[in-house]
Amino acid sequence: MTPNDAAVSVAVCVLTYRRPQGLARLLTALAQLDVRPEVGVTVVVVDNDAGGSGGPTVEASRQGLPFPVVYVVEASRSISIARNRAVREAGDADFVAFIDDDEWPEPDWLGQLLDSRQQTGADIVAAGVLPVFESDPAAWVVQGGFFDRRRHDHNEAIRYATTSNVLIRRGCLEAVEGPFDEAFGLSGGEDTHLFAQLREAGCSIVWCDRAAVQELIPDSRVSARWLLRREYRRGQTLSLSLRARGTTPLLVVRRVGNGLGNLALGLVGTVAGLRHGRAGVLSGVRRINFGAGMLTGLAGLRHLEYKKVHGG
């Protein structure tokens, strides 16, 4: 059965940029997906490297995939433009799923996302990401849980999602222009902004706790510097999204208050964390960086996260 003949069609979209090993691992995992007969799947790979470095990897994996594969090069160096290209290449698929090129799913991944969608009727189904370290992490990394992501009860309604692991009803993506805002093309946070827009447009989001994927954490990310920069960017993204969606003086005052509050709590936490060693101190400093990011984001400043690639 082809995707066009299926009762439900899903385009699994992958963005890649100079990560041949990660892309090969992901495509191998996608080839093992256990999908019900009535579900038609297409894999869409958008290579954001103008040189098409991901092409050989896709060709080497194509025969092992039981689904049609679309491979395109998007030369414009922008994660937003590349995601928008993926949505276009998905065609008229009923659902668009996103997964990153440094992640890989279990065989029941897509089925679990679709089950949550059917059980809840939600427009968007988000799921977890579990860290797998390239090398055994230092004790302070494990103690602080710095790479652990928040989880929720299965099928719980939530207010956010990310493109690291998500299923989106295609019609929902038509609610906003783009749909990914190109202003976030090098800074990242384009997904945070999109899902905030979709939520405001009335799209519902639920959590599927049975469809977690694994993510390789390269050694280059396991550092205090990277963690602090990520938290700073997270704070910036929230405020940049607020600015882009249109704000009011009251919301600005609230955001300034939240930013200053995080700075203060971070300072207190840093001092209190001294008794817990490096993990305790870093937890406090991360909160300071988050608050600082909220404030600089209100001023329109951007940290360009996607100038550097981590992992292969």
Tell me the C-alpha distance between 310 and 39, whole Å.
Answer: 34
Buried/exposed 189-210: b ≥16 CB within 10 Å, e otherwise: bbbbbbbbbbbeeebbbbbbeb
Question: HSE-up of 255 (CA within 13 Å, CB side)?
Answer: 24
Q: Do residues 115 and 90 share a domain?
A: yes
Tell me the C-alpha distance between 278 and 284, whole Å.
Answer: 10
Q: What is the DSSP letter of 137?
A: P
Q: Encoding tokens for residue 50? A: 């103008």
> Do residues 23 and 55 touch, judged by C-beta distance below 8 A?
no
| Domain containing residue 56: CATH number | 3.90.550.10
> Do residues 110 and 194 touch, judged by C-beta distance below 8 A?
no
Q: Do residues 231 and 137 share a domain?
A: no
Higher pLDDT, 303 or 17: 17
Q: Is residue 312 part of a domain?
A: no
Q: Domain boundary residue among 204, 221, 238? A: 221
pLDDT score recorded for residue 297: 95
Q: Is residue 294 part of a domain?
A: yes
pLDDT score recorded for residue 18: 96
Q: Is residue 113 part of a domain?
A: yes
Distance of CA 149 to the CA centre of its chain: 12
Q: Encoding tokens for residue 119? A: 């059980």
From the list 50, 3, 60, the residue with the least C-alpha distance to 26 is 60
- Give the confidence band of 283 by pLDDT, cuts at 50, 70, 90: very high
pLDDT score recorded for residue 312: 56
- The 3-state DSSP class for residue 110 equals helix
pLDDT tens per residue across span 38-81: 999 999 999 999 999 999 999 999 999 999 999 999 999 999 99
From the list 221, 230, 220, the residue with the least C-alpha distance to 285 is 230
Residue 18, by phi and psi: left (phi above 0), alpha (psi -120 to 50) or beta? left
Average pLDDT, the chain: 95
pLDDT score recorded for residue 308: 54
Q: Which amino acid is at 284?
A: G
- Containing structural domain, residue 61: 8-221
pLDDT at 304 over 80: no
pLDDT at 31 over 80: yes
Q: Do residues 251 and 200 share a domain?
A: no
Q: Do residues 215 and 246 share a domain?
A: no
Q: Is residue 79 part of a domain?
A: yes
pLDDT tens per residue across span 152-206: 999 999 999 999 999 999 999 999 999 999 999 988 999 999 999 999 999 999 9
pLDDT at 6 over 80: no
Q: Encoding tokens for residue 40? A: 């038609």
Q: Is residue 1 part of a domain?
A: no
Q: In the chain, how many domains are there?
A: 2
Q: Which amino acid is at 124?
A: I
pLDDT tens per residue across span 201-218: 999 999 999 999 999 999
Q: Is residue 70 part of a domain?
A: yes
Tell me the C-alpha distance between 226 and 229, whole Å.
Answer: 5
Tell me the C-alpha distance between 194 and 162, whole Å.
Answer: 9
> Do residues 206 and 156 touch, judged by C-beta distance below 8 A?
yes
Tell me the C-alpha distance between 295 and 282, whole Å.
Answer: 20
Q: Is residue 101 part of a domain?
A: yes
Tell me the C-alpha distance between 188 and 197, whole Å.
Answer: 16
From the list 299, 279, 169, the residue with the least C-alpha distance to 227 is 279
Q: Do residues 53 and 18 share a domain?
A: yes
Q: Is residue 289 part of a domain?
A: yes
Q: Do residues 19 and 43 share a domain?
A: yes
Q: Do residues 115 and 187 share a domain?
A: yes
Q: Do residues 241 and 112 share a domain?
A: no
**Cβ atoms within 10 Å, residue 155:** 17
Q: Which amino acid is at 162?
A: T
Note every long-range contact of 257-260, with CB atoms under 8 Å and residues 24 or more positions apart, other chains counting. Answer: 258/291, 258/294, 259/235, 259/291, 259/292, 259/294, 259/295, 259/298, 260/291, 260/295
pLDDT score recorded for residue 307: 57
